[in-house]
Amino acid sequence: MGIFGGHGLGLADGRKAEPMPSTTLPHHKLIAYQLALEFVRLLARIRIGDARLREQARKSATSAALNAAEGAARFSRADKSRAYAIAAAEACEAVAAVEIAGALGAASPHDVQAVVELGTRVKNVLSRLVR
The DSSP output letter for 18 is P
State mean pLDDT over 101-127: 98
Closest by Cα among 72, 57, 66 to 106: 57
Q: What is the pTM of this model?
A: 0.82
Query: What is the tens place of the pLDDT at every residue in 52-98?
Result: 999 999 999 999 999 999 999 999 999 999 999 999 999 999 999 99
Asked if residues 36 and 122 have their Cβ atoms less than 8 Å apart, the reply is yes
Q: CA 42 → CA 61, 77, 98, distances in Å?
A: 10, 30, 11
- The reported pLDDT for the residue numbered 40 is 98
Domain ranges of the chain: 25-129
Q: Domain 25-129, what fold?
A: de novo design (two linked rop proteins) (1.20.1440)
Shortest CA distance to 85 belongs to which of 59, 93, 24, 112? Answer: 93
